[in-house]
Amino acid sequence: MKHPLIWGGAVACGVLVAQGWALQYGQKNNQTNMQQSSQSAAEGKMSHPSVDARVANLLNTVNQGEIDEGQLMADHARNQAVKDYAKMLVSDHQKAQDGLKDVSSRANLTLGTNTALEQDSAKLKTRLSNAQGAAADREFLRAEVRDHAKVVRELRQLEPRITDPGLKSYVSQMMPALEAHMRQARSLMSGAAATGTPAGRAPGSRHSGIPPSGS
């Protein structure tokens, strides 16, 4: 027969050990749940950037795409007015990009890209390189009207939700400039550039309204 004290002590030890395991297991579960929650939150932030970041990435992609396309067509275009328009795009969007870098730095935003727009720009450059003469000019101008209109629509949707004052001011100045680029391309399409005949300077090319760096 087991001594009551020994048996009781064994039971007590068993209870304590069981409680210890339960406590340890519970702590591990809590730690695991906290780690998973933190990871999910981090992944959520990565997959769903803020509106400010989305706007900055959008404009970063637009500026770089317009610079690249403009540089291509400044040499490749047949019509002189289209060449002038392409050169204006390069100049305006280089200034705009300088301003965006300054604004993003002040807002602690790391510039990324808009993947869809980046892919569209790459496809357009391929089409422009393969086209020749007036066909290349028309393709370029059609793309400028379409793409500028698309970007302006997206900015109008996002602008009310921008939280950084500097970025908000930058966007408010960029939208009229982008609309001006769109109107200039449309004017060229309806003029001599549409038929491939010689023409003068791109209409309105001196008044872009692009926000300068530090504005």
pLDDT of residue 199: 45
- Which pLDDT band holds residue 209 (cuts at 50, 70, 90)? low
3-state helix, strand, coil in the chain (%, to 5): 80, 0, 20
- Please compute the mean of the pLDDT values over residues 119-130 and round it to a whole number: 95
List the end-to-end C-alpha distance of the chain, in Å, as a whole number.
92
pLDDT at residue 147 above 50? yes
**Number of domains present in the structure of the chain:** 2
| Pair 129, 187 in one domain | yes
| Pair 127, 166 in one domain | yes
pLDDT per residue over 61-71, tens digit each? 999 999 999 99
| Pair 79, 179 in one domain | yes
pTM: 0.71
- Which pLDDT band holds residue 24 (cuts at 50, 70, 90)? low
Return d(Cα 65, Cα 141) in angstroms, integer.
14
Q: What percent of the chain has pLDDT over 70?
A: 67
- Which pLDDT band holds residue 49 (cuts at 50, 70, 90)? confident
4 or 174, which is more confident: 174
Amino acid 107 reads A
In a domain, 166, yes or no: yes
Which residue range(s) make up the domain with 147? 50-194
- Residue showing tokens 């890209």: 113
The enclosing domain of 153 has a CATH number of 1.20.1260.10
In a domain, 214, yes or no: no
**pLDDT averaged over the chain?**
81
pLDDT of residue 39: 53
pLDDT of residue 191: 77
**Is 70 in contact with 87 (CB distance < 8 Å)?**
yes
